[in-house]
Amino acid sequence: MITKSRVNRIQILGLLTPGLLLFGMFTVYPIIRLFWMSLCDMSFSSMLTQPYAGMMNYREVFQDTTFWTVFINSVVYTLITVPGQMALGLFIAILLNGIRRFSVTFRVINYLPVVTSWVIASLVFRYIFNTEGLLNYFLWKILGITSSNIRWLDTRWSGLSVAMILGIWKGIGWNMVIFLAALQQVPQDLYEAAEIDGCGGWKKFTCVTLPAIRGTILFALIELTIGGFNVFTSIKMITGGKPAHQTDTLLTWMYYKAFSTGKFGYAAALSFVMALSLGLLAIVQFRMMRNKNE
Amino acid sequence: MKSRNAAKIRSAVIRYMLLAAGTVIFTLPMIYMISTSLRPNGALYEYPPRFFPKWEALTLENYDYILHQSKFYLNFLNSAMVSVSTIVLAAAAGSAMAFVLGKFKSRLTRILFGFIVLTMIIPGTTMIVPQFELATKLGLVNQLLALIPFYTAWVIPFSTFMIKGFMENIPNEIMEACWIDGADVWTVYFRIALPLASPAIASVSIFNFLTAWEEYPWANTVINDNSRRILPIAIAGFFGQHQFTQWGYVFAMSVLTLIPVVLIFILCQKFFVQGLTAGSVKG
Amino acid sequence: MRTFKKILAVMLACMMLLSAGSALAEGEAVTINFWHHYSAQSAENETLMNVLIPAFEKENPGIKVNAVSHEWAELHDKILVSANSNALPDVARCDIAWLPEFQKMGVLVALDEAMPDFAEVSGKLLDSAMSTAVIGGHYYALALNTNSKIVFYNKAMLEAAGVEVPVSMDAWIEAVKKLSGENANGQQVWGWNEPALAGWNICPFIWSFGGALTNEDQTVATGYINGSETVKAIETFAELVKAGAITGFNAGDIPMTDGFGTGRYAMMLEGPWKSAELAGAYPDVAYGTAPIPAGEGGSISVLGGEDIAMFNSANKEAAWKFMQFMTSEYAETEMAKCGQIPVNKTALESETVKNADYAPFIEAIQTAKARPTVAAWSEMDNGLQVALHAVVTGEKTAQEAMDELASAWDALLK
């Protein structure tokens, strides 16, 4: 076959080279370097020598109480925002799937938060949830539900809640679009068959819709889990980790350790643990969804 | 039949009402942002707080400041340059890789593709420490050029992954015919594969544009100079300096930053949906 | 094929640009990189870029200065990371609190060893300010400017509440309580604002109450940070927070300047830069200044300020010239016009300084103390913030929190 010729082999290599160079240099190399850094002692006194230190950084990470605080924060953030966005996104997709007029308009509007950048959205939310902000005024003076200003941003769980509300608000549109596409591909005769069997709305949803879109659910689940652990900008902008690092997440804590206290080895170990566990989690999610359906 | 129609109408009414409620929730923060950007800075701690400013208090002074006193144009140009360079480089490198990985299958290309997809699992920010070290070694710190190769490298796995699906759908017969005509790989790539995959490349490019346009952690780490800042850092810089925040400026700049994105989004809506769904339905 | 060649050419050009990026910056003359944290739109930055650097370059043909402005915290982070990859500037203006860390990393030049004329140059600068540059018996920087914090109070609010400007700590406690409550709109007001719980914020109270952070040699914390005076200071502060008289360190609070300008905070302890900010953002607010109230330990504020330091990788000759220039009478007087309190003895005598807004600060500087000059300070400071947070929220008593902190600090000070 002609593709076996030398010219073509060189040309294939030529097509791969630019991408592989960029990818290798700016993604693969940093991953390897990250692993190596996590095994070295890199802090103020050792910055210029960077001696090999074995598992020292990993031990330090796991013995650090703040690490466990921020770890729980990240897990809670992911456990709440991922199902939250998926459920609401799917719900809106189902609503949209049943209407004809204005479908595109609604879709565009619902997608606007997704294209709004994290920096901007975070600042808007911070402004709204300020102790003296609009929301508190609304709840207290207009609705009369509360009897004082709620300190949304000042405690661990309320501060994280604001970030989680933002995360859900910003993520619904993305879920809506992919679920809508999936719903449109569900064969109509499946629903008709279910109706003949006497299935109600909820039954149709659980027995027909959900199994039919399981591939999309899996895709969203994996993507959003990665996104949930990647939360950084919103935390940095909304609470800045206050009070006393109680609202920090894995990445903002890693960033603080690296760039404010100079503990690069610690930060590298933390990053590496995170990357590794996410990889394993993705594989597990993949397996679970596969097995369920076979 | 009549009752069935009534049920249908009722269900449609409920649907529209719920969707309208959703619309309010989705747009309120944005409207509040715009309304805040239109009032004087001094009125931001006014009492009682207002969702809409008083009619007579409406002002464009924040926009005036952002457009004339700040380095907005420079930041805007920086952002545009970085985003456009990123999407061009990523489209070129990503489509070439996707073509090879999608059309010349061997064990090697399969392993390579698997590896590329695997790296998509790792959150980008976890690599910030070694990446910063790399940037300083290459002398790229505080250069706009420090952003482009990193952004490109970040979006290449996603771009390759998305475009590869399109490349695979190109019928083998077309390619066979080319080989028989004596065409080489490059010719097939440029003449056949690129044009056929262009819708995929377009939708991938929109996502890459968004990524580069709104990226914050890396740019914030690597860029020092005010004149080299891209928009998200410039906005964040207005916030919280010296324990006071001129929210009017922050939001005026935010609105100006969002305009191109929203325009692109509305104009290219079709590609957006294509791009998103191509990945998800394949699963 | 032609298209491909074009693309290839563009890519090659990009790659060459990539590699040339660093080379281009060099140029013919010696260029020294100067990193600082004068904020970009400030008068200081204007003076630096348009007055000082041109004057220096005129005096020293063949030396170019590339000045880069950073955010305060960001500059610290940048230097840490750049040290790790040998990308440091030649000279930097550093917060006095950072020097010990940089020294420990081994990136600073010991000026008294490297520069034969060091004694002559440093002799022109204030001794107290130069003390911030001594680590382990060597000088690692020149003092550049100094500052401290004094009380700013809202005249109208004190008058309305019938409160005298507090001179003693006891009077301060009463005043802060009395000034808190609700205003005519029914909004909460606070007697005192403290924008963070770091050492910079809490040290003046600890010292004025007669407490201390560590021993003189900065080797032991037990018995000092958990000593009875320190604990008393922290208890008092926490009580006032719980009573709703002090706020400002929470993420959702009104920022300090906005709150003071709009009459929500009656008093605050701030530095000389605040006058200019208030004049710019809230020109209508009438305020006065006073020294920090005196307690058992006297009226002791915290010493701030910046030093100018040289890094190992620098072009030492050119860098030293620039450092001498920046601490000269001329440069210090120019900077004094924008509110930077000089450390050059001759500049301090000038009319500019005597008539400046910050004249009240010069008195506070006489008695002010510096925070510990140890490398572990940022970690210690973080521990202090966490501990204080636990106290003001009532999770721990001041004694418990400080006892824990003392043993953690002891370990860090070793």
pLDDT tens-digit profile of C40-64? 667 888 899 999 999 999 999 999 9
Q: Which of B36, B48, B239 sits opposite A137 (nearest CB)?
A: B48
Which pairs count as long-range contacts for B266-274, CB under 8 Å and 24+ apart, including other chains?
Answer: B266/A108, B268/B202, B268/B203, B268/B206, B269/A104, B269/A107, B269/A108, B271/B199, B271/B202, B271/B203, B271/B206, B272/A111, B272/A177, B272/B203, B272/B206, B273/A107, B273/A177, B273/A181, B274/B199, B274/B200, B274/B203
Tokens of B175: 């390619």
pLDDT confidence of residue C7: 43
Q: Is residue B14 part of a domain?
A: no
pLDDT confidence of residue C29: 79
Look up the pTM and report it: 0.86
Q: Given a cut of 70, is residue B243 above it in pLDDT?
A: no
DSSP string, chain B: -HHHHHHHHHHHHHHHHHHHHHHHHHHHHHHHHHHHHTS-GGGGG-SS--SS--GGG---HHHHHHHHTSSHHHHHHHHHHHHHHHHHHHHHHHHHHHHHHHHS--HHHHHHHHHHHHHTTS-GGGGHHHHHHHHHHTT-TTSGGGHHHHHHHHHHHHHHHHHHHHHHTS-HHHHHHHHHTT--HHHIIIIIIHHHHHHHHHHHHHHHHHHHHH--HHHHHH---GGG--HHHHHHHHSSGGG---HHHHHHHHHHHHHHHHHHHHHTHHHHHHHHHHHHHH-
Could you list the residue range(s) of the whole structural domain that residue B161 is in?
70-282
pLDDT confidence of residue B240: 56
Q: Is residue C7 part of a domain?
A: no
Question: Above 0.90 for ipTM, yes or no?
Answer: no
Please tell me the distance from the alpha carbon of residue A239 to that of residue A159, in angstroms, as a whole number: 7
Q: Same domain for C196 and C287?
A: yes
Q: Given a cut of 70, is residue B174 above it in pLDDT?
A: yes
Give the CATH number of the domain where residue C158 resides: 3.40.190.10
pLDDT confidence of residue C12: 38
Q: Given a cut of 80, is residue B271 above it in pLDDT?
A: no
Q: Is residue B13 part of a domain?
A: no
* CB < 8 Å to A8, chain B: 184-185
pLDDT confidence of residue C392: 94
Q: Is residue C9 part of a domain?
A: no
Question: Which residues from C are below 8 Å from B when comparing CB atoms?
Answer: 1, 3-4, 7, 11, 14, 17-18, 21-22, 25, 35, 39-40, 68-71, 74, 78, 81-82, 84-87, 185, 187, 195, 254-258, 261-262, 264, 273, 277, 281
Q: Is residue B233 part of a domain?
A: yes
Tell me, yes or no, if C84 comes closer than 8 A to chain A by beta carbon: yes
For chain A, the structural domain boundaries read 61-293
Q: Is residue B208 part of a domain?
A: yes
pLDDT confidence of residue B162: 87
Q: Given a cut of 50, is residue B53 above it in pLDDT?
A: yes
- The ranges of chain C with pLDDT < 50 are 1-27
Q: Same domain for C269 and C184?
A: yes
Q: Is residue C248 part of a domain?
A: yes
| Window 48-87 of A, Cβ < 8 Å to B | none
Q: Based on the structure, what is the number of domains in chain B?
A: 1
- The ranges of chain A with pLDDT < 50 are 1-2, 294
**To probe the interface with A, which of B106, B127, B211, B244 has the most A CB atoms within 10 Å?**
B127
Q: Same domain for C202 and C326?
A: no
pLDDT confidence of residue C2: 40
Q: Is residue B25 part of a domain?
A: no
- CATH architecture assignment, domain A61-293: Orthogonal Bundle (1.10)
Could you list the residue range(s) of the whole structural domain that residue C332 is in?
28-139+304-367
Q: Same domain for C272 and C187?
A: yes
Q: Same domain for C64 and C157?
A: no
Give the CATH number of the domain where residue B129 resides: 1.10.3720.10
Q: Is residue C33 part of a domain?
A: yes
pLDDT confidence of residue B280: 56
Q: Same domain for C179 and C287?
A: yes
Q: Same domain for C263 and C238?
A: yes
Q: Same domain for C382 and C280?
A: yes
Q: Same domain for C42 and C109?
A: yes
Q: Is residue B3 part of a domain?
A: no
Q: Based on the structure, what is the number of domains in chain C?
A: 2
Q: Is residue C18 part of a domain?
A: no
pLDDT confidence of residue A92: 93
Q: Same domain for C277 and C346?
A: no
Q: Is residue B92 part of a domain?
A: yes
Q: Same domain for C166 and C121?
A: no
Q: Same domain for C53 and C173?
A: no
